[in-house]
Amino acid sequence: MAHSFFGGVHPKGYKELSCQMPITPIYPKTVTICMSQHIGAPCKPLVSIGDRVTVGQKIGDGQGLCAPVHASVSGEVVRIGPRPAPTGTYVESIVIASDGKYTLCPDLQKRESIQGLSPEELISIIREAGITGMGGAGFPTSVKLSSGLGKVDTVLINGAECEPYITSDDRLMQEAPERILRGISVIKTILQPKRTVIGVENNKPQAIAALRQALQGEAELLPLRVRYPQGAEKQLIQAVTGRQVPPGGLPAAVGCAVFNVATCAAICDAVFEGLPLVRRAVTVTGKAIAKPCNLLAPIGTSFEDLVEAAGGFASQPYKIFVGGPMMGIAQHTLEASTIKGNNALTCYSEADRPASVLPYCIRCGKCVEACPMQLMPLFLHKAQVLRDLEALEAEHVMDCIECGSCAYGCPARIPLVQSFRTGKKLLRDAKAKEGKK
């Protein structure tokens, strides 16, 4: 089945709030750079309080599944310690007071071309630039690339941006298609795929037109139908190639590797400009925001600065989350700062507050129909409520990608995703206990 995946829903887009706003740079006075930007090992700080740093200077690194972090402004390190992170917890961070000059690190090295560089050398450049997946989960890109060496025949570039509200990738594709394509050329040099496909949901005609002009045969451009979660890794692979990533497996298991368009642009900056991942486009939007917009924000910009740059609040916010409404993480404070995977800050106003409904399942089956992973959410939920570990395993709770399609359409508004996160934890804890015995 080409161009299609199982299930899915059609949430209202709200992209018109910010899709006409060009990506505009902002210059915060301080940045707070989180040492734990993604799953895997956290970085250890390489600088001390009082040190002067420049843009692109490595300030944290670690062993194992880890990408280094860099100073995103030039200035002075004023604080090292736990700060609020977008995940809702306090995480070791480095606070830098900007001198406003954005002096570049003298060690950064520009390249005219990548001829003569081996795949391993390119991967090492990408690792040193601290590049992680910029679409969501934030998996270190160098690890993805090296684990895909020799196994990948299809490279997929993800420009689906299927989450409502978010327009940062849309703007990037319109404004800098050539950077994305130069990044793709680097990925192609490393992985040597037979096929390279850029997938963009067809509600972004300007992005599609801009990419088409810049293509020059570097990749196939595939407009995708608008359906959430079109941009989820496994669903994009299924829609484009018809292949299904096996349970618990990685895309490389079916010969695929998926990279977000913003990640491609970051690879271009790292390889050709020598610039590590120190800034990214962030959509600041929602009904509570006075002037929804797309900002080019240094990594570590506080959410407060983002809201200020977007004209402040137009009305009292009811809920604020990083990312889009389907998978975003709700925030309890605006003190937290952006990390590499933050593509948006969405602020709901009181008008978005839902009416309460009694959470009684009526067996309508809408969740079963919506699940892109072929799960049966109503039975999974029952198993979790009953703390039935056997049933949780039999219903494959670990297969859930937490896309939220089931809960989106649930007439009883049962918090299904929350239930499955609990279920996953129950199962993981039980397995860990078993392992100890």
Summarize as ranges the residues that interact with other proteins (CB under 8 A): 6, 9, 11-12, 88, 164, 234, 244-249, 304, 307-308, 313, 317-321, 325-335, 346, 348, 353-355, 357-358, 360-365, 368-369, 372-376, 378-379, 396, 399, 402, 404, 407-413, 415, 417-418, 421
Token reading at 43: 């970085």
d(CA 290, CA 281): 19
CB of 186 to other proteins, least distance (A): 29
We find the least distance from the C-beta atom of residue 59 to other proteins, in angstroms, to be: 25
**CB closer to other proteins, 169 vs 402:** 402
CA distances from 296 to 18, 272, 363, 384 (A): 14, 20, 45, 42
Question: What letter represents residue 190's amino acid?
Answer: I
In the bound complex, what is the minimum distance in angstroms from residue 138's beta carbon to other proteins? 16
- Contact by Cβ (8 Å): 379, 397: no
Cα–Cα dist 211/381, whole Å: 42
Torsion of CA 150, 151, 157, 158, to 10 degrees: -150
Burial 403-432 (b: 16+ CB within 10 A, else e): bbbbbbbbeeebebbebbebbbebbeeeee
Of the two residues 55 and 370, which places its CB atom closer to other proteins in the complex? 370
Of the pair 101, 364, the CB lying nearest other proteins is at 364
Smallest distance, Å, CB 330 to other proteins? 5
Residues found in the chain: 437
- Measure the CA angle with vertex 307, ends 51 and 68; round to 5°: 35
> Could you tell me the smallest distance in angstroms from the CB atom of residue 12 to other proteins?
8
Nearest-angstrom CA–CA distance, 141 and 132: 5
**Which of residues 66 and 327 has its CB atom nearest to other proteins in the complex?**
327
| Min dist. Cβ of residue 359 to other proteins (A) | 10
- CB-nearer residue toward other proteins: 176 or 239: 239
Q: Which is nearer to other proteins, 139 or 348 (CB)?
A: 348
Distance CA(352)–CA(77), nearest Å, equals 40
Question: What would the two tokens of residue 300 be?
Answer: 């570590």
User: Considering the complex, what minimum distance in angstroms separates the CB of residue 410 from other proteins?
Assistant: 8
Residue number, 176 or 254, with CB nearest to other proteins: 254
Nearest alpha carbon to residue 146 among 121, 109, 111: 121
